[in-house]
Amino acid sequence: MVMGGKGGVGKTTVTVNLALTLAARGYEVGIIDADIHGPDVPKMLGIEDEHPEVSVGRISPVFIPMV
């Protein structure tokens, strides 16, 4: 978990880079972003136009295939 009490200190940057590094090493990784002020994670991952699939009782996440 990456968290902090102050904005603008790089929490999202650390989270995205940590997730990408772990994924590149073969781990299954997921990010849940509780920041209600802006879509920084989708911007950093280049998936601003992607949205989770929502159906009755289920939310399917956006998958980013590792190259």
66 falls within a domain: no
The H-or-E segment that residue 54 falls in is strand 53-55
Q: 41 lies in which domain range?
A: 11-60
Indicate the residue type of 27. Y
Contact 50, 62 (CB under 8 A): yes
C-alpha span between 67 and 64 (Å, rounded): 9
6 falls within a domain: no
* Helix/strand/coil for 12: helix
Tens digit of pLDDT for each residue in 20-54?
999 999 999 999 888 777 778 989 999 989 888 99
Could you give the number of structural domains in the chain? 1
pTM of the model: 0.79
Q: What tokens were used for 10?
A: 């790089």
